[in-house]
Structure 1
Amino acid sequence: MTTIAVTGHMDITESTVPLVEEALRTLLREHQAGELTGVTCLARGSDTLFAEAVVEAGGGLVVILPSRDYQQAKVKPDHAPAFKRLAGIADVVTMPYDTANRDAYEAANGELLKRADRLVAVWDGMPSTGKGGTADTVEQARQAGLPVDVVWPTGAERGA
């Protein structure tokens, strides 16, 4: 059994989505169906694309919610259908925070890493703009000795 966590950008462009989807499918192909668990916070963008690829590969999902209010406070209406569908087939773990804030996100990232054998980072390689971003999670994983697979296909871009 392999457990892979994800971190990544939420603001990838529409034209980047299929590039990342294919890169994630390729990365996950080496794992046997039933032998893979994906761990995600199920944020829009990279997290959700990863969750879809894990399910497509026959793997199971663990969703780490940063706070009790995360779904109501942070999941936007256009992302809600995918969030609900994927969370509905996952083991859901909610961190002990009432509100989604920086501390809750950092704790959720820590929980992701604690559960993982490796990390997939859908990341452009740039430093984080705030504490707890993708670059910080990659650094924490590397410090913990977790292997990190960076996915940023040629032509990938972030939105404004």
Structure 2
Amino acid sequence: MRIGITGHRGLSAAVEKLVRAGLDAEVKKHEPTELCGVSCIADGPDTWFAESVLAAGGRIEAVVPADQYREGLPSTHHAPYDALLQQAVEVHHTGMSESTSQAHMTGSEILVGLVDRLIAVWDGQPARGFGGTADVVAYARRTGVPVDIVWPEGATRD
């Protein structure tokens, strides 16, 4: 079973705790030896999901949206990103250089094309910019990939 992740970044610590519990619950629905999590490993849900899959005994694959993707992530996230990237059994690249919203959407499209299901840490609202979580969910649905929403009751993004 290959499961992808997409989700909102910059969530509060309180929402993070609830989202992590939701992601752990999703991961536990699957036999660890048959589970492969696919992630772009951005800070937030991408990383929490990858960590949960590995902790459960599954494996991960990474999608790198652009050559300069890592540089666009918060510097505090570079070490966790590097560590997870090294643990990936396979790394997929878009072939794009600059870390733009188009590169991010292209990476997400590759991710969706690799998976059997997509988990979306999504508040149900429209994307705040091209390539946001809502755009990835819409793409998955258009292409027939089932989407499981993880969003804590009463949570907000701001």
Calculate the TM-score normalised by the size of structure 1: 0.93
Cα distance between partner residues in 2 of 1:129 and 1:20 = 20
Corresponding residue SS for 2:118: strand
Cα distance between partner residues in 1 of 2:129 and 2:74 = 21
More helix by share: 2
State the percentage of identical aligned residues. Answer: 38
Q: How many angstroms does 1:157 deviate by?
A: 2.8
Show structure 1 runs of 5+ residues with no match: none
CA-based RMSD:
1.1
The aligned counterpart of 1:130 is: 129
1:85 corresponds, among 77, 83, 86, to 83
2:102–2:130 contact (8 Å) kept in structure 1: no
Q: How many angstroms does 1:155 deviate by?
A: 4.0
2:122–2:149 contact (8 Å) kept in structure 1: yes
1:69–1:98 contact (8 Å) kept in structure 2: yes
1:16–1:155 contact (8 Å) kept in structure 2: no
Calculate the TM-score normalised by the size of structure 2: 0.95
Q: How many angstroms does 1:154 deviate by?
A: 2.0
Corresponding residue SS for 1:93: strand
Corresponding residue SS for 1:82: helix
Note the 1:9-158 alignment, pairs <5 A: 9-71=8-70, 73-90=71-88, 91-158=90-157
Show structure 2 runs of 5+ residues with no match: none
Task: Report the number of matched residues.
Answer: 157
Cα distance between partner residues in 1 of 2:69 and 2:129 = 19
Find runs of 4+ consecutive structure 1 residues off by over 3 angstroms: none
